[in-house]
Structure 1
Amino acid sequence: SFAVKSFVNLAAKCNTAEYDFAIRETKTREVIEDVATTKSEVGILYLSSFNRTMITKLLRTNGLIFYPLIECETFVYLWKGHPLAQSPSICFEQLKDYPCLSFEQGDNSSFYFAEEILSTYDYSRTVKVNDRATMLNLMVGLCGYTLCSGIICEELNGTDYVAVPFDTQGTNGDSRMEIGYIVKQNTILSKMAQLYINEIHYYLAKYREQEGNHDSTNEIK
């Protein structure tokens, strides 16, 4: 949500009577393709110990550069009325009776492009969706959950959902993720694209500051 909030902040600062922007929330592979074909100037994605080799190779093949923004631990994102919502941390064993919600990626190598960390774990219940609104509805209706960075914008997401630290007990892989943005190599970004990146840096700096002051929370407004 920090990518959307940064976009909102940018648009709000545009002191013009008219503007024509586009922000696309799409599959990871399409993010890469959009920037590679200059349909988009900037793309946001993450690298992990599992997908780093595959994604890095794909970026290099398409002439793209990855710029790191922040490293995050994994959080469990769920509805505030979920039975586990008040837990200090949550491990996979506690989640086994609830469906894991993930975004549909749509090809045979989709686990490399999954937006959710630990995408190869053997989940007993899964539901794939193709939009965020449906995912939030299923968090309430099915007590589902997803795994995320924990950087939650309460102003946009509201107060009905919480992010609880994920306990890596029972997992074999590194659950840390490195979030960054990608751009086309040897391309000069437009003024608006650069301003958008600046907004992201500002937002994440604010997040780091608040995280340092309040270790138990991961929401910013």
Structure 2
Amino acid sequence: MTLQQLRYVEEICKCGSISAAAQKLYIAQPSLSKAIHELENELHITIFDRGRRGAALTSDGLEFLDYVKVILRQTENVKARFANKKEPLRLSISVQHYIVAVDAIIEFINHKLESTPDFSIKIRDGNASQVIDDVVSGYSEIGIICISNLNRHLMNRLFQTNDLVFHSFGKFAPHVYLRCGHPLTAHQILTYDLLKPYPYIVYEHGDNPLNVPEESVILEDRSNMKCICVTDRSTSLSIIRNTNAYNIGSGCLLPNIVGSNICTIPLKTTSESMQFGWIKLKNMMLQKEMIEYIHLMEQTICKFSNVQKEFS
């Protein structure tokens, strides 16, 4: 098995057919087909189902592709680290709706990348299962997620199954996000009964038990609630700024990101604090720039007294 064969597999997946991939790779189609057959014979699996409509990944092929992406990504990192000619910096991060992650990216771009001639940064906002899938598949180097008592057992089992490592940033008690002119801003602490008359914003998370959102810390009866379901942070903040709707989260408030018209108030709840941190593949070697980004995340978290830090 060679790196070239792995690149062939990735290109066929992108193009959808062996013939299209051969044209893009500037090699003869029979040569490409032979290379894939040799790889399949070596591994004793079928990677592609060939048909008139192109080449589709088999179940073994889908699993194999996850490893291919990780290996090729690691190869790029090694080349960028040790080759004489510097490759463009590429960073990819998946985040579970955390503004502190965005603040750290802003700091990173403004202060760490001024002298970097070429770079590409990918930031993907998603729920817990999407973040984990991105890291396992190699799409993202790290993922930033939240763990609660409701999903802790499943998360730990998934980390072990997929050779993932979780590093905690800290724990936080739930806070309510409101517009500054909201009728409830006169209170120093909020309760479920006080919140019940107002629209409640939640992030869409599907039926996957891993996707326990931050707002799930409210365990009281939610019957007859006014509920607004959104998919992204920007929509949530826009609704909060312009209505009496509210959201629940870590309480980390960054005016340069959320604006000056939003405040947070602690929520009285019987649930335990939530834990948030970052994950990576166990054997993944992080780029030094990614390590610098993680340190910036830690510096951002240190700004907030409501977060119990869990890093040195």
TM-score interval for Structure 1 and Structure 2 normalised by the shorter chain: 0.7 to 0.9
Code of the residue aligned with 1:177 in structure 2: it is M
Query: For 2:140, what is the secondary structure of its paired residue?
Result: coil
Of 44, 52, 73, which aligns to 2:173?
Answer: 73
In structure 1, distance between residues paired with 2:181 and 2:256: 19
Larger radius of gyration: 2
In structure 1, stretches of 5+ residues that fail to align are 213-221
Q: Does structure 2 conserve the Cα–Cα contact (< 8 Å) formed by 1:90 and 1:166?
A: yes
Deviations 1:11-63 (A, max 9, x none): 11212233111111112110000011111011111112222112222222222
For 1:62-141, what aligned pairs fall within 5 Å after superposition? Answer: 62-106=162-206, 108-109=207-208, 112-118=211-217, 121-123=220-222, 124-141=225-242
Match in the other structure for 2:139: 39
Match in the other structure for 1:205: 302
Query: For 1:7, what is the secondary structure of its paired residue?
Result: helix
Of 128, 134, 150, which aligns to 2:251?
Answer: 150
Match in the other structure for 1:4: 102
Whether 1:187 aligns to 2:291 is no
Query: For 1:113, what is the secondary structure of its paired residue?
Result: coil
Query: For 2:153, what is the secondary structure of its paired residue?
Result: helix
Going from structure 1 to structure 2, the CA distance change for 1:181 and 1:157 (only over 3 Å counts) comes to same
In structure 2, distance between residues paired with 1:153 and 1:26: 20
For 1:11-30, what aligned pairs fall within 5 Å after superposition? Answer: 11-12=109-110, 13-14=112-113, 15-30=115-130
Query: For 1:30, what is the secondary structure of its paired residue?
Result: helix
Q: Does structure 2 conserve the Cα–Cα contact (< 8 Å) formed by 1:99 and 1:144?
A: yes
Code of the residue aligned with 2:213 in structure 1: it is A
In structure 1, distance between residues paired with 2:194 and 2:283: 47
In structure 1, distance between residues paired with 2:182 and 2:143: 32
CA shift for structure 1 position 120? 5.6
Which shows bigger deviation, 132-141 or 96-105? 132-141
What CA RMSD, in Å, does the superposition of the two structures yield over aligned residues?
Answer: 2.0
Q: Does structure 2 conserve the Cα–Cα contact (< 8 Å) formed by 1:79 and 1:162?
A: yes
CA shift for structure 1 position 66? 0.7
Deviations 1:117-167 (A, max 9, x none): 426654222111012222122224441111111111122212110010111
Code of the residue aligned with 1:192 in structure 2: it is E
Q: Does structure 1 conserve the Cα–Cα contact (< 8 Å) formed by 2:129 and 2:208?
A: no
Code of the residue aligned with 2:106 in structure 1: it is V
In structure 1, distance between residues paired with 2:188 and 2:201: 21
Going from structure 1 to structure 2, the CA distance change for 1:141 and 1:90 (only over 3 Å counts) comes to same
Code of the residue aligned with 1:139 in structure 2: it is I
Q: Does structure 1 conserve the Cα–Cα contact (< 8 Å) formed by 2:164 and 2:280?
A: yes
Normalising to structure 1: TM-score of the pair? 0.85
Q: Does structure 1 conserve the Cα–Cα contact (< 8 Å) formed by 2:129 and 2:210?
A: no
In structure 2, distance between residues paired with 1:206 and 1:136: 21
Which shows bigger deviation, 119-128 or 55-64? 119-128
Whether 1:52 aligns to 2:149 is no
In structure 2, stretches of 5+ residues that fail to align are 1-98, 308-312
- Which structure: greater helix fraction? 2
Query: For 2:292, what is the secondary structure of its paired residue?
Result: helix
Higher relative contact order (CA 8 A, sep 6+): 1
Query: For 1:206, what is the secondary structure of its paired residue?
Result: coil
CA shift for structure 1 position 194? 0.9
CA shift for structure 1 position 79? 1.0
How many residues align? The count is: 205
Normalising to structure 2: TM-score of the pair? 0.61
